[in-house]
Amino acid sequence: MKFTISTALLAVGLLSGCQLLDRSTANYYEAKDWVEDGVFTQGVEGPVVGKNGVLYAVNFAQQGTVGQITEKGTASLFVTLPKGSIGNGLRFDRSGNMYVADYLGHNILRISPDKKVSVFAHEPAMNQPNDLAIRDDGTLYASDPNWQEGNGQLWRIDTNGKVVRLQENMGTTNGIEVSPDNTVLYVNESIQRRIWSFPIKHNGEIGEASLFYQFEDHGLDGMRTDVNGNLYVARYGAGEVAIISPQGELLRIVKLKGQYPTNIAFGGEHGQQVFVTMQKRGAIETFMTEFAGRAFAGFY
């Protein structure tokens, strides 16, 4: 039987009591609270939605944890990371493994579906792995900023855990995402306020960078694409999410309640609910969009 995201997530929502925004009554692009202030630390980051429809984010209640949100306003501990590890970006692969950018340990951790935590990849030359992107074949890409020096690196992590440095001497690499067709890698430089696009080759290597978009003010953080290839960018300090077309045209600004969004994930019954982690608030906001996220176009 073919697995469909919309029916599966709806079933999970009914079984677990997960409350989803009603598409018929919710206003598109209107931000609301999903998790209130102080439930997560100011290190709240890396939102991601699993096959089970549950939303996950790092640093629930204290640093070095991953929390889970099963319905509006209901968060609990999912797992505690090993001592000395603090997570940032999160991603799932097709098998349900969760990958964690452990910026203190210079690791990419893997959490299996039965919640066993292991080191998937370790690279001492990493500054502090920040955010993760994943291709459909399981290849990971990691941003790696050096905030003190104002520069950064870009890494690929193969499915066997091999780490390959793709770029160095970039700006402060932060948000990172893959296009729906797996042919473009987007990477932003937070302090420099630039977004770059790299063509992805069949072997996972990347080609020459092109400047995709340049902002005039405020920082940049996490990014995600929808099924049409539109790029959703958390604008740190601006309190907004910018939506940019695959052609580099600014389509819309979504105003948030808080000022410091850190990252973005798609979820909900039809994949059209956007979750945004909010640093200063230690909270998570949400809004509905017209298009489902890339992850809901068959990635799972």
Mean pLDDT in the chain? Answer: 91
Q: Domain segments of the chain: what residues?
A: 5-16+25-296
Long-range contacts of 149-155 (CB under 8 A, 24+ apart): 150/191, 152/127, 152/189, 153/125, 153/126, 153/127, 154/187, 155/123, 155/126, 155/129
* Amino acid 289: pLDDT: 97
Which amino acid type is present at position 42? Q
pLDDT tops 90 at residue 9 = no
Largest CA distance in the chain: 52
Tokens coding 261: 């969004």
Range 175-186 burial, b when 16+ CB lie within 10 A, else e:
bbbbbbebebbb
**239-291 pLDDT, tens per residue?**
999 999 999 999 999 999 999 999 999 999 899 999 999 999 999 999 999 99
Rounded to whole angstroms, how far apart are CA atoms 223 and 231?
A: 7
pTM of the complete model beyond 0.85: yes
* Amino acid 266: pLDDT: 97
Question: H helices then E strands: how many in the chain?
Answer: 1, 24
What homologous superfamily does CATH list for 5-16+25-296? TolB, C-terminal domain (2.120.10.30)
* Amino acid 14: pLDDT: 32
**24-58 pLDDT, tens per residue?**
445 899 999 999 999 999 999 999 999 999 999 99
What's the whole-number mean pLDDT along residues 82-88? Answer: 96
Nearest 5 degrees, angle CA 100-CA 40-CA 283? 110
> What pLDDT band is residue 295 in, cutting at 50, 70 and 90?
confident
Rounded to whole angstroms, how far apart are CA atoms 300 and 286?
A: 22
